[in-house]
């Protein structure tokens, strides 16, 4: 009994630590508020492919080695607002500087989505170890900001706006990748403007659509906000992918079909979607902010749009991005207004043609017409001479009448 009383006393003494006040004599005890249990997290992803020995088509398309002669993204951090990132993946080890969990489900990537996005941006170059896959900006760094642990969300998710703000507040972030879409809300709009006020470029997916949704105007934010680069998906033939949303605001397109990238647990996976087109553009932005650090976020967006390869129909924006041109082209960044940045390419001087040489032209015309005349004479002779030979070449003779002869005398 004495032991039992000690246990009860200990429990009452510890109650204030958990927010339950002891009951006072003559008063009703307030209801206890239980602690919120940690959200259950199931990380049981299937293993990915053990290696990516073949160079993916997007890498060949953009010719990474040519870009890396200029920059590899040194000194730039890209925030991946997504499902988390597996920082222990061999090609992301050392690339992920920090992981923030807004979702309250821990920082692990239990869907694989964020890990694939991060790999496309900044997977380290390990081709000397027979790993053909590499990120477009392999010396950029990744900040993982996990805002969800779900494949899909119904309606607006307030954590998305919170994650964008958290990314904007982190040191060194120059680009934010958002490979998801959401409805337009005041909180999301304000978060985007907050990041832009800190000179951070947001690159966002324009969204995927099902067959029954094609042709419908669907909410796709933050891609639809001013100053945000909205990205569509192209296939290997340079055409808009069937799943890419063609009815929302599109800035540019990037490879989004049959895309190889990193997968949690050290493997690799192939996937498709505008989610995986977006990080190619975010990685390009990282290269640009490393190579041209004085450009503002709007000037970076301006260059990406201005140097794209041209539209390919509805939903393609200005077409496939051209990373080398975006880095090197001479572009006049005029001061944009509140809307999309204006594009003004510097005029290129074209030398006038040399003066016409009339004497030489006259001689040439005379020779040409002379040759044509001679050819015509040869052709006529080829017809007339055989006819004459058949007639024996006898000249015709005309006899004048007698009256004509006398009158002529």
CATH number of the domain encompassing residue 133: 3.40.50.200
For residue 89, indicate whether it is catalytic.
no
| Among 86, 89, 113, 244, the one annotated catalytic | 113
| pLDDT above 60: residue 247 | no
| Among 144, 180, 275, 290, the one annotated catalytic | 275
- Per-residue confidence (pLDDT) for residue 41, from 0 to 100: 66
Query: Rounded to the nearest 5 degrees, what angle is found at the Cα of 36, between the Cα atoms of 30 and 40?
Result: 155
Q: Which of 243, 261, 234, 257 is nearest to 322 (CA)?
A: 234
Name the β-bridge partners of 402.
none
- Per-residue confidence (pLDDT) for residue 331, from 0 to 100: 75
| pLDDT above 70: residue 162 | yes
361 within some domain = no
- Per-residue confidence (pLDDT) for residue 120, from 0 to 100: 98
In the predicted model, what is the mean pLDDT of residues 321-340?
72
Say what percent of the chain tops pLDDT 70.
62
Domain extent, residue 234, equals 57-345
- Per-residue confidence (pLDDT) for residue 25, from 0 to 100: 35
The Cβ-side half-sphere exposure at 32, using a 13 Å CA radius, reads 10
Please, are residues 255 and 234 in contact by the beta-carbon 8 Å criterion? yes
Tokens in use for 399?
Answer: 């006899």
For residue 275, indicate whether it is catalytic.
yes
284 within some domain = yes
> Each residue of 47-86: pLDDT tens digit?
888 888 889 999 999 999 999 999 999 999 999 999 999 9
Neighbours of 46 (CB within 10 A): 10
- Per-residue confidence (pLDDT) for residue 324, from 0 to 100: 97
351 within some domain = no
313 within some domain = yes
CB-based contacts of 255-259 (< 8 A; 24+ apart in sequence): 255/57, 255/58, 255/61, 255/280, 256/232, 257/233, 258/56, 258/57, 259/56, 259/58, 259/116, 259/120
Q: What is the DSSP string of 334-391?
A: PPP-SSSPP-EEPPPP-PPPPPP-HHHHHHHHHHHHHHHHHHHHHHHHHHHHHHHHHT
> Which of 109-123, 303-317, 320-334 has the weakest average pLDDT?
303-317
- Per-residue confidence (pLDDT) for residue 245, from 0 to 100: 55
Please, are residues 175 and 78 in contact by the beta-carbon 8 Å criterion? yes
Q: What is the DSSP string of 256-323?
A: -SSEEEEETTTEEEEE-SHHHHHHHHHHHHHHHHHHSTT--HHHHHHHHHHTS-B--STT-TTBB--H
pLDDT band at 87 (very low <50, low <70, confident <90, very high): very high
Report the alpha-carbon distance of residue 222 to residue 232 in Å, rounded.
Answer: 13
- Per-residue confidence (pLDDT) for residue 251, from 0 to 100: 84
74 within some domain = yes
408 within some domain = no
> Each residue of 277-311: pLDDT tens digit?
999 999 999 999 999 999 999 999 999 999 998 76
The chain-wide mean pLDDT, for the chain, equals 78
Verify cis geometry, omega within 30 degrees of 0, for the bond prior to 15. Answer: no
Please, are residues 304 and 277 in contact by the beta-carbon 8 Å criterion? no
Q: Coil, helix or strand for 154?
A: coil
Instruction: Name, in order, each residue with C-beta under 8 angstroms of 147's C-beta and a sequence gap of 6 or more.
Output: 81, 82, 102, 103, 157, 159, 160, 162, 163
If one counts the domains in the chain, the total is 1
Please, are residues 142 and 121 in contact by the beta-carbon 8 Å criterion? yes
> Distances from the Cα of 25 to the Cαs of 16, 128, 148, in angstroms?
17, 76, 47
| pLDDT above 70: residue 126 | yes
In the predicted model, what is the mean pLDDT of residues 17-27?
35
Report the alpha-carbon distance of residue 189 to residue 192 in Å, rounded.
Answer: 5
Neighbours of 98 (CB within 10 A): 16
Report the alpha-carbon distance of residue 229 to residue 298 in Å, rounded.
Answer: 10
| Among 82, 86, 109, 157, the one annotated catalytic | 82
The conformation of residue 28, written as its DSSP 8-state character, comes to P
Q: Is the backbone of residue 273 left (phi > 0), alpha (psi -120 to 50) or beta?
A: left
Q: Where is mean pLDDT largest: 2-6, 139-143, 376-380?
A: 139-143
- Per-residue confidence (pLDDT) for residue 381, from 0 to 100: 61
For residue 113, indicate whether it is catalytic.
yes
């Amino acid at each position: 009994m004495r032991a039992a009383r000690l246990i009860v006393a200990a429990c009452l003494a510890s109650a204030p630590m958990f927010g339950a006040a002891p009951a006072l004599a003559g008063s009703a005890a307030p209801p206890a508020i239980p602690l919120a249990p940690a959200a259950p997290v199931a990380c049981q992803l299937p293993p990915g492919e053990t290696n990516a020995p073949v160079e993916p088509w997007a890498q060949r398309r953009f010719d990474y080695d040519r870009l890396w002669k200029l920059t590899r993204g040194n000194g730039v951090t890209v925030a991946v607002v997504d499902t988390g990132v597996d920082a222990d993946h061999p090609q992301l080890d050392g690339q992920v500087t920090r992981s923030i969990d807004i979702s309250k489900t821990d920082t692990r990537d239990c869907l694989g989505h964020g890990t694939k996005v991060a790999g496309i941006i900044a997977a380290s170059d390990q081709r000397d170890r027979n790993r053909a896959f590499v990120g477009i900006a392999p010396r950029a760094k990744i900040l993982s900001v996990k805002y969800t642990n779900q494949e899909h969300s119904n309606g607006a998710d307030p954590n998305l706006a919170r994650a964008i703000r958290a990314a904007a507040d982190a040191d060194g972030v120059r680009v934010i990748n958002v490979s998801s879409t959401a409805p337009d809300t005041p909180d999301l709009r304000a978060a985007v403007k907050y990041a832009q006020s800190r000179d951070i470029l947001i690159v966002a997916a324009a969204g995927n659509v099902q067959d029954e949704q094609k042709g419908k105007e669907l909410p796709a934010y933050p891609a639809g906000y001013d100053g945000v680069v909205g990205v569509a998906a192209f296939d290997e033939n340079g055409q808009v992918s069937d799943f890419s949303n063609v009815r929302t605001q599109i800035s540019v397109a990037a490879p989004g079909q049959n895309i190889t990238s990193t997968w949690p647990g050290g493997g690799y996976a192939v996937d498709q979607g505008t989610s995986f087109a977006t990080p190619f553009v975010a990685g390009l932005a990282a290269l640009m902010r490393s190579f041209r650090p004085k450009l503002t976020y709007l000037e970076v967006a301006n260059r990406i749009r201005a140097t794209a390869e041209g539209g390919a129909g509805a939903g393609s924006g200005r077409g496939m991005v051209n990373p080398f041109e975006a880095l090197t082209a001479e572009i006049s960044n005029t001061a944009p207004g509140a809307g999309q940045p204006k594009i003004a390419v510097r005029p290129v001087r074209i030398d006038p043609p040399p003066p016409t040489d009339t004497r030489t032209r006259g001689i040439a015309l005379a020779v040409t017409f002379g040759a044509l005349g001679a050819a015509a004479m040869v052709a006529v002779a080829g017809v007339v001479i055989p006819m004459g030979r058949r007639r024996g070449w006898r000249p015709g003779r005309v006899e004048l009448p007698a009256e004509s002869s006398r009158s002529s005398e």
